[in-house]
Amino acid sequence: MENIAMLSAQLTLSISSQEEATKQKDDLSSEVASLRGELHQVRDDRDRRLSQAQTLNADLMRLKESRENSCVELDSLTLKANDLEEKSSLKENQIKALQEQLATAEKKLQVSDISVFETRTEFVGQQKFVDELQRRLEDAEYKLIEGERLRKKLHNTILELKGNIRVFCRVRPLLHDESRSTEGKIFSYPTSMEASGRQIDLAQNGQKHCFTFDKVFIPEVSQEEVFVEISQLVQSALDGYKVCIFAYGQTGSGKTYTMMGRPGHPEEKGLIPRSLEQIFQTKLSQQPQGWKYEMQVSMLEIYNETIRDLMSTNRSSSENGTPGKQYTIKHDASGNTQVSDLTVVDVHSAKEVAFLLNQAANSRSVGKTQMNEQSSRSHFVFTLRIYGVNESTDQQVQGVLNLIDLAGSERLSKSGSTGDRLKETQAINRSLSSLSDVIFALAKKEDHVPFRNSKLTYLLQPCLGGDSKTLMFVNISPDPSSVSESLCSLRFASRVNACEIGTPRRQTNGRATDSRLSYF
Ligand SMILES: Nc1ncnc2c1ncn2[C@@H]1O[C@H](COP(=O)(O)OP(=O)(O)OP(=O)(O)O)[C@@H](O)[C@H]1O
């Protein structure tokens, strides 16, 4: 029994222990269930957190990427910023430099402002001074013009009283083919008050020869300037004077250039075309005052002591060797000169005369010498007769303008002529030496003046003999090889200049009988 009790006690113990164990098992089950619930919750939590972690990871990745981008951008911006900083510092330097320059310029401006003011003040002073000088200059110029006018008037009066032949000397420029002298200049032109424009000095073999004329034209003087000096003289032909202008000088010294000019170069036209233009212009300008003019032209040449009519339409017979017309010069009892059979043409304009001059130039005898291939070997005489009437004042004037281009004056040895050319040179020399004989006989007031010794002097008798206004151009070549000829020409001209030949007289109110040079 004891065993049973013991077994029962043991059974009870075991049941209690089983119950205990069941209870523990239940507790443990509920704990497991609770733990399972907790685990489930933890799992959910873990999943949520995982997903949160994934999201955060993705965000992080994005952030990382953006950070990288930002880093690149930052680098580039940093570079740009550095660049800009560099530029800005450069600009700053420039600005500084400009500011410095500005400051200097401002300083200078201030200084120049001061000096402008000073200059302006000085300028006003100077302006006043210049105005005063200008006024005095105008005054002096006026006095000078008045003085010159008076001088010319007195000069004219003296010349009229003395009855001189006036002499103008013209030296031409050296031509291209002439030697530019190595021995120094042959001619010089003193510039002192008294001598200026009137004196020419020639140096030969160390000796100086001085000559004074009414005017000396240096090589640079233009045709226009020469004409200005004779225009008054030309004008006096319209006022009723007999005017005679002739050119004297050796071959090639510029006689034809002075009288006719260079063909085809209007600005270089000579005294003859310029004189005619002036005469026809004055004729027009005097019309409103009632003046009417008639003009006639004749042109002749004296070649080998024979007269040729340069306007005759019938010159062939004499050129063929058969004798042509015998033109004879006659002075009638009342002093008029007549050349028989000479063609006289009425002219109305300078153009008409230019045409006739051109025709005459073609008809002239032209020969060749060693000195000038186109040398004119004859004396050329152009005559314009002027007859003017003013019906409103009942005045009449009768003037004559003679323009003469003489043949070359060189000596025989110089011209190198032979045969026909020698005959020409001898004839030219004869007539030119007759011209000097006449002039010197007049100068010495000899009873007999050998006008008849040559055709030239006989034709020009009225001009040379007294009552005309006569001007001689002595043309000079500057070529050193012509120095002896130049000296001869200057000596001749200066003796001519000293001659007293008479007093020019005006031919007015139809006193034609007074005229001694008129080919009517
Ligand atoms: N003042 C000048 N200015 C420029 N050239 C000039 C001048 N004078 C003359 N001449 C030139 O000199 C050369 C000779 O001149 P020109 O024919 O007029 O001489 P000339 O004395 O008439 O000779 P000739 O006795 O042979 O007729 C020409 O070629 C001419 O154009």
Mean pLDDT of 2-10: 83
Q: Which two tokens stand for residue 80?
A: 């740009």
Instruction: Give the model's pLDDT for residue 294.
Output: 94
pLDDT of 190 above 70: yes
Q: Is there a binding annotation on residue 270?
A: no
**Per-residue model confidence as pLDDT tens digits over 11-34:** 888 888 888 888 888 888 888 888
Atom nearest to 260 CA in ligand 1? 18
Confidence of residue 373 (pLDDT cuts 50, 70, 90): very low
Pick the range with the lowest mean pLDDT from 255-264, 305-314, 476-485. 305-314
The response to whether residue 257 sits with its C-beta less than 6 Å from ligand 1 reads yes
pLDDT of residue 10 exceeding 60: yes
pLDDT bucket at 192, cuts 50 / 70 / 90: confident
82 confidence band (pLDDT: 50, 70, 90):
very high
Q: Is the CB of 431 under 6 A from ligand 1?
A: no
Q: Is the CB of 172 under 6 A from ligand 1?
A: yes
Mean pLDDT is lowest, of 170-174, 347-351, 389-393, for: 389-393
pLDDT score, position 515:
32
Tell how far the Cα of 133 is from the centroid of ligand 1, in angstroms: 45
Residues in contact with 272: Cβ distance below 8 Å, sequence separation at least 6, in sequence order: 259, 260, 357, 382, 403
Residue 500 gets which letter from DSSP? B
249 lines ligand 1 (CB under 6 A): yes
CB of 408 closer than 6 A to ligand 1?
yes
Asked if ipTM goes beyond 0.90, one says yes
229 pLDDT higher than 80? yes
- Is 249 annotated in a binding site? The answer is yes
Across 61-70, 120-129, 417-426, 506-515, least confident range: 506-515
- pLDDT score recorded for residue 347: 94
**Which residue is listed with tokens 């509920």?**
30
Q: Is 256 in the pocket of ligand 1 (CB under 6 A)?
A: yes
Among 320, 298, 304, CA closest to 378: 304
Average pLDDT over residues 426-445: 77
Number of other CB atoms surrounding residue 246 within 10 Å: 24
Other Cβ atoms within 10 Å of 367 Cβ, number: 18
The residue among 404, 357, 365 whose CA lies nearest residue 381 is 404
Which domains does the chain show, CATH number per domain? 164-514 (3.40.850.10)
Can you read off the two tokens belonging to residue 380?
């050329």
Model pLDDT, residue 514: 32
Greater pLDDT, 37 or 366: 37
Residue 369 Cα: closest atom of ligand 1: 26
Kindly give the number of the ligand 1 atom that is closest to the alpha carbon of 257.
18
Cβ–ligand 1 distance for 223 under 6 Å, the answer no
pLDDT band at 520 (very low <50, low <70, confident <90, very high): very low
Is 399 assigned to a binding site?
no
**Mean pLDDT, all residues of the chain:** 82
User: Which of these ranges, 61-70, 159-168, 385-394, has the smallest mean pLDDT?
Assistant: 159-168
- The answer to whether the CB of 243 falls within 8 A of the CB of 402 is yes
| Ligand 1 contact via 251 beta carbon (within 6 Å) | yes
Q: What is the pLDDT of residue 434?
A: 85
Which of residues 333 and 383 earns the better pLDDT score?
Answer: 383
User: Is pLDDT of 162 > 60?
Assistant: no
Q: What is the pLDDT of residues 279-319, one digit of tens each?
A: 999 999 888 888 899 999 999 988 878 888 988 876 544 44
Cα of 182 from ligand 1 centre, angstroms = 23
> Could you tell me whether strands 395-405 and 379-390 are parallel, antiparallel, or unpaired per DSSP bridges?
antiparallel
Pocket of ligand 1 contains residue 35 by CB under 6 Å = no
Q: How confident is the model at residue 503 (pLDDT cuts 50, 70, 90)?
A: low
Residue 242 in marked binding region: no
Ligand 1 in reach of 173 Cβ (< 6 A): yes
**Percent of the chain residues topping a pLDDT of 90:** 39
**Longest Cα separation, the chain:** 231
Give the residue, out of 172, 225, 479, with the most ligand 1 atoms within 8 A of its beta carbon, to mutate for a pocket test. 172
Which of 4-13, 38-47, 241-250, 285-294 comes out lowest in average pLDDT? Answer: 4-13
- Nearest by Cα to 486 from 391, 410, 379, 375: 410
pLDDT bin (cut points 50, 70, 90) of residue 340 is confident
Q: Is the CB of 368 under 6 A from ligand 1?
A: no
Of the pLDDT bands very low, low, confident and very high (cuts 50, 70, 90), residue 398 is: confident
- DSSP letter (8 states) at residue 452: G
As a whole number, mean pLDDT of residues 77-103 equals 95
* Helix axes of 223-238 and 271-285: crossing angle, nearest 10 degrees: 50
Residue 261 CA, ligand 1 centroid: distance in Å: 8
What per-residue confidence (pLDDT) applies to 57?
Answer: 93
Residue type, 482: S
Among 174, 226, 246, 257, which residue has the most ligand 1 atoms within 8 Å of its CB, making it the best to mutate? Answer: 257
In residues, how long is the chain? 520
Task: Find residue 400's DSSP bridge partners.
Answer: 242, 385
250 is in an annotated binding site: yes
